[in-house]
Copies of this chain bind each other. A is one copy, B any other.
Amino acid sequence: MRDADGDAVGVLDRMTRILEAFDQDDGGLGISELALRTGLPKSTVSRLVGTLVRGRYLERDGRRIHLGLRVFELGQLAQQPRELRAAALPVMAELRSQTGLNVLLAIRDGRDMVCIAVMRDRSTAPTRVRTGGRLPVHATALGKAALSQASSAEVEDVLSGGLKALTPHTITDPAELRRQLIDIRHGGLAEGLREFAPDVSCAAAAVLAPDGSAAGAVSVSGRADGFDAGHFRIPTRAAAARLAHRLAAATPVLR
């Protein structure tokens, strides 16, 4: 029975807070810094960190604390990303070589897209998106593609979070976004023209699961100058379709 906006208390919640404080791990955090970020008393943090270090969830070198190996290990076992990645890597590589653009694969998690794989292409603008990173659903082609296959309840949930503008081109009007989603659903391609970053544009397509929902989305992105999404419609959609196919084949008894 606590807390401001959230809910659940308990060690688990605390440990969660500690682990998540590492989202910007600026070369290691100290106990005090952690206490600050998590809002927990120093003594508590010290004790919990001790336990986590013992379990190799955290590593410690003097006062610098980092996320540990075990977290990495566990992360690699996560179902969705593993399956998707395995099926996607060859498809993504091909898409990259066809387009000469950066290729991304992501899964939607509420109002964010979580990046599952990144394939950079040296011939275009470097992307600073990292595997495991999050991108806002409403401001990316990736997000719009995935969302276009979601139920309207889910869409409304995303909209209810507010559409924060990241560039002057970000869609901030819910009505406009709803409209686009319909088009995207029908056309099978989402475009993001300078909506996420001022000099980057992209095109994305949803990867459909056998049940019709979006298992994820693939995108190609590059310099916004002279970017013509229509140009990438065919290969991008084809890649998404091929991926969906491989995915279905890889999932044996789906239910």
Contact = CB atoms under 8 A, between A and B. Distances in A.
A19 interface: yes
Nearest to A130: B76
Contacts of A130: 76
Contact of A67 (B51, B52, B79): B79
Interface size class of A (residues with CB under 8 A): 35 or more
Contact of A78 (B13, B72, B77, B109): B72
B67 A74 contact: yes
A225 interface: no
A80 B25 CA distance: 12
A71 B66 contact: no
Interface stretch (A54-62, A149-157, A162-170, A200-208): A54-62
A235 interface: no
A1 interface: no
Give the residue among A19, A22, A56, A72 with the most B Cβ atoms within 10 A: A72
A131 interface: yes
